[in-house]
């Protein structure tokens, strides 16, 4: 599986159940959300600007997309978490199953981030992102075309301690209007 195929499989609306394990306190958090993943063109101004901010030629990008989410955590019923981020894969020239992933809003911190991804032989997308104070690893794979799993870990930046582990099961919303 290469990045083109992986993004293509991800396009659509998903109903997500996410469990976060806060490991130090053995605490559970449960989040329900709706996720939408929509393709963007290489000419989209958000894609061009994100590439340019890293000095990367937008024409080397492959399958950029926007991910939007809206959800509720059991930690705070009144807070609706909603957001949107632009993601731009820049595959390596030699090997299309690995490369960089630019985003305008990171997973562990809400600032732009560049991660390194690769796709394993069994089709698992693995993304490593280092921030100033933390490092994030994300593994995503498809159980079938309408179900994907996502396991994320947030570590301290020195890599020693894993602070949070989370697991999302995401089911494709098959109704056309979502």
Please give the residue ranges that form the binding site for its own copies (CB under 8 A). 15, 17, 19, 21, 23, 26, 28, 30, 32, 120-122, 124, 126, 137, 143-144, 147, 149, 151, 153, 162, 165, 167, 169, 171
Q: Nearer Cβ to its own copies, position 27 or 54?
A: 27
Q: Nearer Cβ to its own copies, position 65 or 117?
A: 117
* Cβ neighbours, 10 Å, residue 11: 13
Q: Nearer Cβ to its own copies, position 9 or 169?
A: 169
Query: Token pair 């996410």 is at which residue?
Result: 18
Nearest approach, Cβ of residue 3 and its own copies (Å): 18
Q: Nearer Cβ to its own copies, position 29 or 109?
A: 29
CA distance 104 to 112: 4
Residue of 102, 7, 116, 5 whose CA lies nearest to 56: 102
Query: Token pair 């994100």 is at which residue?
Result: 50
Nearest approach, Cβ of residue 136 and its own copies (Å): 12
Q: Which helix (H) or strand (E) holds 73?
A: strand 65-73
């Amino acid at each position: 599986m290469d990045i083109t195929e992986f993004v293509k499989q991800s396009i659509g609306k998903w109903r997500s159940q996410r469990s976060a394990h806060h490991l130090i306190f053995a605490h559970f958090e449960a989040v329900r959300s709706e996720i939408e993943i929509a393709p963007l063109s290489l000419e989209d101004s958000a894609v061009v600007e994100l590439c340019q901010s890293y000095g990367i030629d937008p024409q080397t990008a492959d399958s950029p997309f926007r991910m939007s989410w809206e959800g509720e955590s059991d930690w705070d019923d009144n807070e609706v978490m909603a957001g949107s981020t632009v993601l731009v894969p820049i595959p390596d020239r030699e090997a299309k199953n690995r490369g960089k992933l630019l985003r305008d809003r990171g997973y562990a911190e809400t600032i732009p981030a560049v991660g390194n991804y690769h796709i394993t032989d069994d089709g698992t997308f693995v993304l490593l992102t280092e921030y100033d104070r933390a490092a994030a690893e994300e593994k995503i794979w498809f159980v079938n075309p309408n179900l994907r799993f996502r396991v994320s870990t947030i570590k301290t930046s020195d890599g020693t301690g894993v602070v949070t582990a989370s697991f999302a099961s995401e089911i494709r919303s098959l109704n056309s209007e979502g």
